[in-house]
Amino acid sequence: MGAFGDIHLLEVFLSSTKANQSPGSPCRTADLILGQYLAFLKTTQGLADATLVLRRLHVKPFLLSLETTGGFIDLRGLAPSTIHDYIIATSKPLTRASRKHLVSGLRSFLRFAHANGLIERPLVHAVPVILTRKLDRLPQTISWEDVQKLLTMPDRATLIGKRDYAILRLVAAYGVRIGQAIHLRIRDIDWHQELIHFPAEKGCKVLCFPILPEVAEALLSYLRDRGEAPSIEEVFLTVRGAPRPLGLNNHLGSALKSYYRRAGLRATRCGAHPIRHAFATRLMERGIPIKDIADLLGHRSIETTFLYTKVDLERLRTLAAEWPEVKL
């Protein structure tokens, strides 16, 4: 189980750390401090489980870097230079999104530590500002023809192949994030009204689309083979052992890499996000207004959608051709 994939076990973890807590001692273990921090985020701030996973992912290594030889941490002696140097060294190999999560996670933890007396002075300002420009690169995408090729890779004679195909079909048909597809619930599919609903994720809006024939076929084929699971809300379940929902961090990473490889696709990012980009790029190439594309993708801000204007090469060439010449 990785990074609290089953986040409901957090309460069990917290109860065990509280049992070993020494309230009067400023020295505590990394697990104890982390448990208190995650409990604060969950019970006081009401953060989503996926956010707790990200916070743990970046805060725990930071705490472990502060451990003494005895395995304890005394945050009272934490210096601003230690925080600054750790982030600069750690952020170098990370992606733009991961750097954002790193600095926001450590700022959040430092606020918690100061508010709860673990550090004597606020150290949030010791976290350096790392520039993460959104429009400094082209989106990682594949062609629409490659998307169609990728859809043929899952073995639809097997249950796992039917599941993976249905998930990929949802992403390709509606341009949703793979998390929205993977965590689709039975009640999100309205067969009578022929509508499918996707919950909000990562700041995106709630989405509702008509059920396309190819989507209905993929879902029904999988659900017939999957069988009944009365106590489980999610559509897509594991296929090994007792059926259960896919974990919060399970985005079919290894399976998608295999499908990319078998399809002969060379992409720097072998996940579902290039399919979402291909969906948006296809709309852009068809002349769909960017505001409509933003609505279809669920973007709350149209600025997020501006990234796709960089792949509309035909329009960019037109702009370049029509730019007036300057006579000196």
pLDDT tens over the chain, length 328 residues: 443 444 444 444 444 444 444 444 556 888 999 999 999 999 988 887 778 888 999 999 999 999 887 788 889 889 999 999 999 999 888 877 788 889 999 999 999 999 999 998 999 999 988 765 555 555 567 889 999 999 999 999 999 999 999 999 999 999 998 889 998 999 999 999 999 999 877 666 788 999 999 999 999 999 999 988 878 999 999 988 888 888 777 788 889 999 999 999 876 678 888 898 889 888 888 888 888 888 888 877 676 676 665 555 555 455 445 555 656 5
Residue 237, class by beta-carbon neighbours within 10 Å (0-12 exposed, 13-18 middle, 19+ buried)? middle
276 is catalytic: yes
Tokens of 81: 């230079």
Residue 283 DSSP SS3: helix
pLDDT of residue 53: 87
121 is catalytic: no
The residue to which tokens 């600054």 are assigned: 84
| Alpha-carbon span 279 to 297, nearest angstrom | 9
pLDDT of residue 173: 94
The residue to which tokens 């993977």 are assigned: 182
Catalytic residue among 86, 165, 260, 308: 308
> How much is the pTM?
0.63
Catalytic residue among 251, 276, 277, 282: 276
Whether 194 and 211 have beta carbons less than 8 Å apart is answered as yes
Tokens of 53: 């996973």
Catalytic residue among 177, 183, 251, 282: 177
149 is catalytic: no
| Residue among 247, 179, 183, 180 at smallest CA distance from 4 | 247
| Alpha-carbon span 201 to 276, nearest angstrom | 14
Q: Output the CA torsion sign for 26, 91, 297, 159.
A: negative
pLDDT of residue 112: 94
Helices (H), the chain: 10-19, 30-43, 49-65, 80-91, 96-115, 144-151, 159-174, 178-182, 213-226, 253-262, 273-285, 290-297, 302-305, 313-322
- Within 8 A by CB and 6+ apart from 20, the residues are 29, 32
> Where exactly are the structural domains of the chain?
7-126, 144-318
Q: How far is CA 141 from the centre of its chain?
A: 17
pLDDT of residue 199: 82
| Alpha-carbon span 149 to 142, nearest angstrom | 11
Catalytic residue among 100, 101, 111, 273: 273
The CATH code of the domain at 144-318 is 1.10.443.10
| Alpha-carbon span 265 to 132, nearest angstrom | 28
pLDDT of residue 21: 44
269 is catalytic: no
| Alpha-carbon span 274 to 175, nearest angstrom | 10
Please check whether the two domains, 7-126 and 144-318, share a CATH topology: no
Catalytic residue among 76, 125, 134, 202: 202
273 is catalytic: yes
The CATH code of the domain at 7-126 is 1.10.150
pLDDT of residue 70: 76
pLDDT of residue 204: 67
| Alpha-carbon span 219 to 201, nearest angstrom | 21
pLDDT of residue 250: 75
